[in-house]
Every structure is written in structure tokens, then in C-alpha cells.
Structure 1
Amino acid sequence: MATFPSFSNTLFFIVFASLQCTVSSSRPLLSSTNVYGHSAAEAVGRMDTDTQPQTPVGLRQPQQRSFNSSRRELSYYTSSCATGNPIDDCWRCDPDWESNRKKLADCAIGFGRDAVGGKHGEFYIVTDSSDNDAVTPKPGTLRHAVIQTEPLWIIFSHDMTIVLKEELLMNSYKTIDGRGHDVHISNGPCITMQYVSNIIIHGIHVHDCKPAGNAMVRSSPTHYGWRTISDGDGISLFGARDVWVDHVSLARCTDGLLDAIMGSTAITVSNSYFTQHNKVMLLSHSDDYVADKSMQATIAFNHFGEGLVQRMPRCRHGFFEIVNNDYTHWEMYAIGGSAAPTINSKGNRYTAPANPYAKDVTMRMDTAENKWDTWDWRSEGDLFVNGAFFVPSGAGASSNYEKAATVGPKSSALVGIMTANAGALPCKAGSAC
């Protein structure tokens, strides 16, 4: 992954010093000093009861997040971290972030804003990068951590590359937090969330993911089952809800970098860096799968970078807000869809490729214009560079946009600084991240 410079100067500090962060915690944190009741130097686990699959919730009511509602003290901020990105400004400037890791859970925005992850659980320290047994995982491994029944905030003891033997099947109420170390999941099957909820994935690299399967894989302390061949996605959501993916670097997977299908909803993908891939992000299963009509997803503050071809994202049926992202490369199109999705594009920067036949940001798949001209697709405050253009459709004042709007966009002129550090961050203990 490319490392982006920090766009810092006095002007940006003055402009953004008044920005605020919303804190939405309603319950006190559990002790941050214990890992399953042991010292933080230990990484042990315990078996517990299984949880049942949870069906996705219905449409979430529109909620415009106000970043003025809970003013924060910004006097200690430096211009390198007070960028105007509401997620980052909520936690990144705290030099004691390592002791306050769970504060991250209060910083989510968009439709995945209620994903608490492991906020109300203990810490689990991954000390072992191996993945030798998908049915009886070794304590101290990532697989052992993610299958536990209780909420857990999962961190890492050192830099590591984890080559998974089979899909990593996550259980509900888990946070994977890679801050402070260089953590890669790569060169094997990757992350799957199937009928689970309340997942946060932050600060890791996911790349070169491959299919696996025709094998037994454990999904909880009390259940394992037969898995057929997987697609080779980087991050896969199947009937999952309340999921937040933030500051993740994704590249070069066999199928999609991030796919959400089969009734998944209440999703936010933010501050992530996508590179070197064809079919980047799929949201919704198929034109015929009408259960995805309740899907709501927020795509915000991401950088869609070099080597990308299409699907940033490709949507069906549901309601999708695409806010303050930086699109610096596509070869076919940026945003596509079928089956009448609602697309609400706000404050993005779209830089078209040199190809004169690929300037259109949008693509309606396999649908005649007299059918898609009623689909609600709009562009508000977007910045178009190098001949890029967005083809709108539908009713400009449609009520559908209320179901695809939770985040008030910043000016598209500021996208560069707000997304400059997209992807996994090189955080170091004792200093602002």
C-alpha cells in the first residue's frame, strides 16, 4: 500500500479546529486491564455457549448526525490530525489512544453507527499468527478469538501476517483492532461474517485472499460445520448487520474486496484504501433477491486508488449513501447498479481516467434507459475532475433519499485531506495516531 503524506499546515488547523465529534456511548466500559480475567500479558480463552443466527433488522430511520451536539475540547489538536474527518477527529488526536482503545466504538457514523463490536467485553491479545486447525483453534490465535460467544476487543501483541487455513468465521460482538502493529491477513481465505451482528474491523491489511473450503470450520465454541468452496473475498458479509469496517487496506483478492449480500444491512465502510482489483465492492446478492430491499450502507471517506476497474460499489435494491470519498482510478466505471437501488452521492471527488469512453462515474447494468430513468440516483456537491460526469435519474426530491442519508457531507474540496490517511494507520503508542 502506498503511504500518503499528512496534509498539515496552519490554514487547515484554523479551518478545522472547531469541528466536533459525536459520542454515543450509553453503557460504561468494562475494565481494560483484563484479558478473560487474566493479566494483559496473557492470551487465553474459554469455551462458552453458542449463539443463534440473527436476522437483519428492517429499514433504519434517517438520522442526520450532528457533530455540533457534543462539543469536544480541541485545544490540544495539531493540524496533522484535525482534518475535518468526523471519525478520525473523534479519536486520532489522543496521544493516549492505546489506553483508550474502546473510544473508537463511539466514533462510528452512518448506517453502521450502532456497531459496538467488543466494546462491552474484555480484551483478547492475539499472540500466535498460526492457523493450523479450523475446528480446534489454538488459544492465542485470531481464529480462537473471533469464535468466542462473549464480546471481545481483539488486539495483537506484535506485527504479524496471518495465513488462514479456512475462512475466518466471526461470531457476534467482536472488534478486530490492529492499531499499534502491522497486521496482515493474506494469501489464504479471509474474513466471513455470516448471520452475525455488531462487528468492528479496524486497522488491518487484507489482501491476496483465495478460495478455500470443502472442510469443517468452527464458528462458535459449540458449533462447527461443513463449508463448501468460498469465493475468495477479502471481507464477506452474508446476512450480517451492524458492521463497521474502518481504516482497512484491501487489495488483490480472488473475487470481491468487500461483499455484503443475502439480507446484510446497517453497514458502514469508512477510511479504507482499495487498490489493485477488478470487482471491488458488491452490495446486495442478485436482482432476484428482494430481501436486499432493506439494505442500507454508508461508504464514506475512503480512497479508491490505483489499479481498480469497477464496483466502487455495485448496488442492488437498497439504499446507499456515498459520501466524501476520493476516486482516483477506475477503468470501467465507479458506481454501478441494477434492480432500482437508491444512490445518494454527496461531496465526493471523482477523477476520470484518460480513456475518453470511461468518463461516466455511473453504470446501470443490463437495463434499458426507459426502465432506469425512474431509479433515484443523484449527485450533490461532488467534484468532477478530468472530464468525469455523473448521470442522475429519478425524482430529485424523492423520499427514498431520506432512507439513504445519515451523514452530512463536508465540501468536496476537502476530500484530499480527509482521505489522505485512508487504510491501516501506522499508529505508535505514546503519540497521536
Structure 2
Amino acid sequence: MAALPYAHVDGSLRAIAGQAEGFGRCAIGGLHGSLYCVTSLADDGAGSLREGCRREEPLWIVFDVSGTIQLASTMSVSSYKTIDGRGQRVKLAGHGLHLNKCEHVIVCNLEFECGRGNDADAIQIKPGSRHIWIDRCSLRDYGDGLIDVTLGSTDITISRCHFSMHDKAMLVGADCTNTGDRCIRVTVHHCFFDGTRQRHPRVRFGKVHLYNNYTTDWAIYAICASLESQILSQCNIYEAGEKKTVFKYLTEKAPDKEVGTCGSVRSEGDLFLNGARPCLLPGADGECVFSATEFYPACSMAPASESLKQDLRVCAGWQPISRPQDSI
């Protein structure tokens, strides 16, 4: 059994607020707010998750119940909130979360499944949101994407999540007209992309740091570098199924440029299995891709290995862990 992450802070409920790595490392969620207990699986009303998420004050949201919350519409999350699913097994279905013009949000240890509709995403982070941390969530089977980071949202970390039973896993950067997405910075680490077809992620404009992720059995490509994107891929495991292409490059044109461009990828220490083909473009691993140490000094990156692959199969996604005591 692999060692579960964050065991050293599991003695205190809010100690996890300081544990994010990467671009979202400053996210504090509801660290300084009151404790809000979800006592109802209803879509809305007293004791519901929606009631806690809409409140303007900082809150650390926990659950006293397990089960499925069937959402009739997308649930908006306001600033300075932690949605902490430790101690229960809570699934959101029907629709997902919308982090809209908010900051300092942590979403931890939840399941997302069966969202329906043309624009149904499990988690939408847009527009202009920042300091966001999505950790240990299981996401599958939505009508559109699982996690979208668009419209000028930045300083985001997505860690230890399990993505499965889906087509478009993760989109970073809305489309070629949104030049404001040049500010986007996202870290994705220790995630398990389990047979999802594409977008692990697809990136336009932004800077994305990928490390210690395990991506397997994609149906189109693993990573897509589009329109000015910079993707730093370090110590990830790419295990191909029938399709072998790992890095795909798409050319698009920004409205303030005369010619179209694709993105760039630098691959360092990645492990390519079962015939996976990185197919790096000439110069794609050059100086045009950022260095992570420009932005944060350290992270928990380890070499890509068979043991890392097995750990991620166990430790990515929702975990049956107890809720720590609240020391406040």
C-alpha cells in the first residue's frame, strides 16, 4: 500500500491549506473562516453545500453526510472557501462547480460524475479566478470537460486527481481570440489520466508545468500544445495504448498576430512506455519554455518509475481518509 500524501498534517483539519505545490501554492481557501458543516444532500437550502458556497465570508466546508448531491444547475463557489470532503464520500452529479471571479479556493477529496449538457464541466475555473487548488478528486463522465481553466484565470494547482471515462479531460486557455489567457499559469502533478481520450491537457497561451503524472491509453493524443503555449513536462509517465502520439502541436492565430503559431514542449525525465512517441518539434525543448524555478523554488518531484505508476493508481483521486479535528 502506497503512503498517502499529506499524512504529516492530517492531525489538524486546516493544516492542509499550506501544502499546495506549484503555481497554486498560495491558495489558503477558508483557512481563517468559520467551520460550515454540510448536513443535507439536497441541491439547496439549509445545511446544503450550495448554501455554504454562496456565502460571502470565508468558510471551511466539511461534510457530516455521505452520498450523491444531484445538482440541478452549476454551483458557483465564492472566494475564500475550502470544500473538504475528507471523512465522507460525497459525489457531485448532474452539474459541476463554477469558480467565477473568485480567489483562494481549495476543493479536496470529492467525486464528480455524470454531468450532462453541452457546456457541462465538472470544474470550470473562469473568468479571472486565481489562487486555486484542486486536490484528490475523482472526475469522470461529463458532457464537456472535466476541468477547464480559461478567461484569465491563473495561479492554479491540480494535484493527485483521477480522470477517467471521459473524452476531453482538461482545457487550459479558452480559444484563439482570448489573448488575456497569456497570463495563465497552471501546475498539474501526481494525477492519473486513466484512459481519457485527449487533453491531458490541451493548452493555449498559458504556462503549464506537468510532473509525476501518469497518462495511459489515450485515444487521440496525450498533450496538445497550441497557440503560444509553454508546456514543461518533467518526470511523467506516458503509457500508450493503440494511439502512440504523446505531444501534438496545433497551429492557431491570435487576433493581434499576423501569422499562426503552435505551442512548445520541453520534456525532461519523462518515461515513454509501450511505444509512446514524444515527437518533439525542432526547438520545442529550447529556451522558449519557462523554467519552474523561475516561479517556485521546490516541489516533490521524483523520477518517473514503475513504483510511481503503481502509487498513482492507488493514491490519485478520492481517498477513504478520516476527517481531522479542527484546532480552531
2:256 corresponds to which residue? none
Query: Structure 2: how far apart are the matches of 1:429 and 1:101?
Result: 7
Would you say the 8 A contact 2:161–2:191 is kept in 1? yes
Change (3 A) 1:297 1:258: same
Would you say the 8 A contact 1:281–1:311 is kept in 2? yes
2:142 corresponds to which residue? 253
Given the alignment of the two structures, is residue 424 of structure 1 paired with residue 318 of structure 2, yes or no?
yes
Which structure has greater strand proportion? Answer: 2
Change (3 A) 1:395 1:273: closer
Query: Structure 2: how far apart are the matches of 1:297 and 1:346?
Result: 14
Query: How far did residue 329 of structure 1 move?
Result: 2.1
Q: What SS class does the counterpart of residue 154 from structure 1 fall into?
A: strand
List alignment gaps of at least 5 residues for structure 1.
Answer: 1-5, 8-79, 82-87, 132-136, 212-229
Would you say the 8 A contact 2:179–2:205 is kept in 1? yes
Change (3 A) 1:157 1:338: same
Given the alignment of the two structures, is residue 346 of structure 1 paired with residue 234 of structure 2, yes or no?
yes
1:270 corresponds to which residue? 159
AA aligned to 1:180 is: G
Would you say the 8 A contact 1:162–1:185 is kept in 2? yes
1:290 corresponds to which residue? 179
AA aligned to 1:177 is: D
Given the alignment of the two structures, is residue 182 of structure 1 paired with residue 89 of structure 2, yes or no?
yes
Would you say the 8 A contact 1:238–1:261 is kept in 2? yes
- Aligned residues, how many? 313
Query: How far did residue 166 of structure 1 move?
Result: 1.4
Query: How far did residue 366 of structure 1 move?
Result: 4.6
Query: Structure 2: how far apart are the matches of 1:110 and 1:430?
Result: 24
Would you say the 8 A contact 1:348–1:415 is kept in 2? no
Given the alignment of the two structures, is residue 141 of structure 1 paired with residue 48 of structure 2, yes or no?
yes
2:69 corresponds to which residue? 162
Change (3 A) 1:257 1:396: closer
Change (3 A) 1:165 1:396: closer
Query: Structure 2: how far apart are the matches of 1:384 and 1:396?
Result: 16
1:217 corresponds to which residue? none
Q: What SS class does the counterpart of residue 244 from structure 1 fall into?
A: strand
Change (3 A) 1:429 1:176: closer
CA deviations on 1:327-356 (whole Å, 9 max, x unpaired) are 122011110131120010000010011x2x
Would you say the 8 A contact 1:292–1:318 is kept in 2? yes
Query: Structure 2: how far apart are the matches of 1:147 and 1:235?
Result: 16
Given the alignment of the two structures, is residue 360 of structure 1 paired with residue 245 of structure 2, yes or no?
yes
Q: Tell me the TM-score normalized by structure 1.
A: 0.68
Q: What SS class does the counterpart of residue 391 from structure 1 fall into?
A: coil
Equivalences for residues 222-261 of structure 1 within 5 A = 231-239=119-127, 240-261=129-150
AA aligned to 2:69 is: I
Equivalences for residues 111-130 of structure 1 within 5 A = 111-130=23-42
1:388 corresponds to which residue? 276
Query: Structure 2: how far apart are the matches of 1:313 and 1:322?
Result: 9
Query: How far did residue 378 of structure 1 move?
Result: 1.0
Query: How far did residue 400 of structure 1 move?
Result: 3.8
Equivalences for residues 77-116 of structure 1 within 5 A = 80-81=3-4, 88=5, 91-93=6-8, 97=10, 100-116=12-28
Q: What SS class does the counterpart of residue 144 from structure 1 fall into?
A: helix
Percent of residue pairs bearing the same amino acid type: 32
Residue 197 (structure 2) aligned to one of 309, 317, 328: 309
- If you compute each CA radius of gyration, which structure gives the higher value, 1 or 2? 1
CA deviations on 1:163-216 (whole Å, 9 max, x unpaired) are 112110110000000001110001x121001111111000000111123xxxxx
CA RMSD of aligned residues (A): 2.2
AA aligned to 2:180 is: A
Would you say the 8 A contact 2:266–2:289 is kept in 1? no
Query: How far did residue 318 of structure 1 move?
Result: 1.0
2:107 corresponds to which residue? 201
Query: Structure 2: how far apart are the matches of 1:208 and 1:150?
Result: 30
Query: How far did residue 101 of structure 1 move?
Result: 1.1
